[in-house]
Amino acid sequence: MVFYTMIVFPNCKINLGLHVVSKRPDGFHELETVFYPLPLTDALEVISPGSLSFTTSGIAVPGNSADNLCLKAWRLLKQDFADLPEVDIHLHKHIPIGAGLGGGSSDAAFMLQTLNNRFQLGISKEQLITYAAALGSDCPFFIENKAVYATGRGEIMTPVNLDLSSWSFVLVYPGIHINTGWAFSRITPKVPVLSLRDSIAQPVEQWREIISNDFEAAVFPAHPELAEIKDTLYAAGAVYAAMSGSGSAFVGIFPKNSIAGIDINTGYKVFML
């Protein structure tokens, strides 16, 4: 029997700014943010034929493995493609979990694409985005994997012309769990004076003054150590630093090739990209 192995590397995303604009009639919140991909990755291995097994290594993945989004992605396609064979899945988890970096959503989106490619299902990019949306509001982003301006609950995405390849990034993950519902309860929604779609078009050096994350003001009083991380990034030379999503990971943007010699001495997990 011939076994086929595909290995892909689902990447993370960061939020550049996040505004809670209004409370919706359905109980959710109207948001605006900018998603941007970064090359901090997990490793996803898909082996066929298999027995629909799922194993992990690296960072421990909480919860029942049967509910993992990678398996849910397989089951979702199986509903429409009856001949889709069972596979063995191994996920090496490197992107911090519950950090606002979208790692689980990325794993699911890459699983959809891998199955489509391996078994030549002929699913168009538009159809893949629809499948991804059924798995989570962040998942469609990772099908295109390009900078977008996101509204609604984060699922309405419009491409933006944003290239940050001339900058370096530092991600700091303090391992603090932020309950999203609690964080939302501490925010008074408001329409920003300047939309993120306009702010993001300004030079990166100006972002410190014009791009903000509403969750910071909500959670910093309860977790002052998060404010200290932001201050540390600026003290190290970041031109922009902020919490990603509802946290608790932070991103610092630095001049290109300037991060090799810096010491982000926070005592937390640090990734330099």
Is residue 13 annotated as part of the catalytic site, yes or no?
yes
Active-site annotation holder among 42, 138, 214, 230: 138
C-beta pairs of 189-193 under 8 Å, 24+ apart in sequence: 189/20, 189/21, 189/22, 189/23, 189/29, 189/30, 190/19, 190/20, 190/21, 191/21, 191/22, 192/19, 192/21, 192/32
What digits encode the pLDDT tens for the residues 216-252?
998 999 999 999 999 999 999 999 999 998 878 999 9
The model's pTM: 0.92
Confidence at residue 128, expressed as pLDDT on a 0 to 100 scale: 96
Is residue 256 annotated as part of the catalytic site, yes or no?
no
Active-site annotation holder among 13, 93, 214, 230: 13
Q: Is the pLDDT of residue 1 over 70?
A: no
